[in-house]
Amino acid sequence: MTHTFDALICGGSLAGSAAGFALAKAGHSVAILDRATFPRPKLCGGLLTWKSVKLLEHLFGETPGTLTRAGAINYASNQYSIHTRTNAVAHGTLSFPFHFVDRTAFDALLLNKARQAGATIFQDTAVAHCDPARGIVTSQTGETFQGTAVIGADGANSVVRKSFSDVDTKRMRRLMAPTIEVRLPAHAFPRPVTHPELSIGFLDAGYGWVFPNNQSVIVGVCGLKTKNTNISQVFKEYLEFLKIDSEAIPDRRGHPLPYGNYLKEPVSGVTMLAGDAAGLVEPLFGEGIFFALCSGMYAGEAVAHGLAKQTSPGPEYIRRLNQQIIPELKASDHLRWAMSKGMQWIGPWSLKLFLTMAGTPLGEMVHGMRSYSWLREKHWDF
Ligand SMILES: Cc1cc2nc3c(=O)[nH]c(=O)nc-3n(C[C@H](O)[C@H](O)[C@H](O)COP(=O)(O)OP(=O)(O)OC[C@H]3O[C@@H](n4cnc5c(N)ncnc54)[C@H](O)[C@@H]3O)c2cc1C
């Protein structure tokens, strides 16, 4: 039996829920397929920037207040600090806070919003194959789904992406950063953590983080692999730097993070990729939540537009990506390499100088009020 819908979405996390919600709201029949059963855990620091908060309100009508009451947001802080192995190089206070979400609750809440808007959710349904030209998706159990359009929102190891013939797989692999992250009870951390802390200098292109959360602290590292990178060793060194006994950390887990391998035109036939599946993660700080939500919304709206006008959705999706998202990722990538070279050639004080000079506008850039391109004011189209 073949299940037929206007649109199929593979993956029901952030990109998938945003796409599904946008399509269902526009009155189209849409199926979201996910291999997991929600609520499910997702390895993530859960940091939300201003632009994510703005998008969540625009698309889902959710505010920090409603998300906090629903148990999805569990911490907020206006402060941040950046450290090297030897020094604190920046400590600032921003006009808008960073919010922290619990991904288990957050992802389940957004998928539920898509369901309530009219999307049909197939959980415990792993996609095994996609025919991007014909819009046919087959599950691991052999069920077949047919859609006028397909959105691949199935994360960093996307099965849908593997069905695209023109993806540079070598580049995709080279710029896929390994990560390790653990969640510790707050009392097990050697000191109180009140704001997000980033540490650099542990890897060439990457960083460590300590994020506050309700009753816990999240500690992680990510970075591009060079010949000598052993991410487990880096994580061990980072724990030692934080004065945490690495032997006492039980459940350490890893997940690939797209880190500069974004696809500029993630479209093949009637199929589009969104979020991590398209590598749409900001390459300096590894922000992916916003880019998954935003690209998912763009993909969903492009399909809705295509269905209404009887046109192919791909060009409209690429137009919005190129106008809003790709220039940010490109500029952030340039900044990442400039900062990494500065650290290598001149030392940590180059970074300190840069952070001191750029100050508040730099925080506004991370939040999305300013662009990664020359810190110009950024205007989002939502
Ligand atoms: C350790 C770590 C920390 C991070 N911290 C932050 C942070 O603090 N802030 C931030 O902005 N970003 C962070 N990110 C990035 C962020 O988590 C991702 O960019 C974001 O989750 C991408 O959303 P997505 O919907 O594209 O994919 P995902 O959230 O990865 O979801 C993919 C979905 O597809 C499903 N799926 C996968 N394969 C299949 C299949 N074959 N069939 C059906 N379903 C499938 C999965 O079950 C999953 O639900 C972090 C990432 C990592 C690894």
CATH tag for 2-45+101-172+262-345 (out of 3.40.1710.10, 3.40.605.10, 3.50.50.60, 1.10.20.60): 3.50.50.60
- Residue 186 and residue 190: Cα distance in Å, rounded? 9
| Torsion angles phi and psi, residue 97, rounded to 5 | -80, 160
Name the residue with higher pLDDT: 16 or 354: 16
Look at the chain and count its residues: 382
Question: What residues contact residue 187 under an 8 Å CB cut-off, 6+ apart?
Answer: none
Instruction: Render pLDDT for 273-299 as a digit per residue (tens, 0 to 9).
Output: 999 999 999 999 999 999 999 999 999
Q: How far apart are the CA of 215 and the centre of ligand 1, in A?
A: 23
Q: How far apart are the CA of 156 and the centre of ligand 1, in A?
A: 7
Cβ < 6 A, ligand 1 pocket: 10-16, 33-36, 42-47, 126-127, 153-155, 159, 179, 181, 220, 255, 257, 275-277, 281, 286-290, 292
Yes or no: say if 152 and 271 are a contact pair by the CB < 8 Å rule. yes
Q: How far apart are the CA of 240 and the centre of ligand 1, in A?
A: 28
Q: How far apart are the CA of 38 and the centre of ligand 1, in A?
A: 14
Instruction: Render pLDDT for 55-105 as a digit per residue (tens, 0 to 9).
Output: 999 999 999 999 999 999 999 999 999 998 888 888 889 999 999 999 999
Q: Which helix (H) or strand (E) holds 169?
A: helix 169-174
Give the residue whose CA is nearest to atom 8 of ligand 1. Answer: 45
Which DSSP category does 81 fall into?
E
**Hey, what's the torsion of the CAs at 108, 109, 113, 115, to 10 degrees?**
30
Report pTM.
0.97
Q: How far apart are the CA of 290 and the centre of ligand 1, in A?
A: 11
- Residue 265 and residue 338: Cα distance in Å, rounded? 25
Rg, C-alpha atoms of the chain:
20
Residue 227: which pLDDT band, with cuts at 50, 70 and 90?
low
- Residue 299 and residue 365: Cα distance in Å, rounded? 24
N- to C-terminal Cα separation, the chain: 39
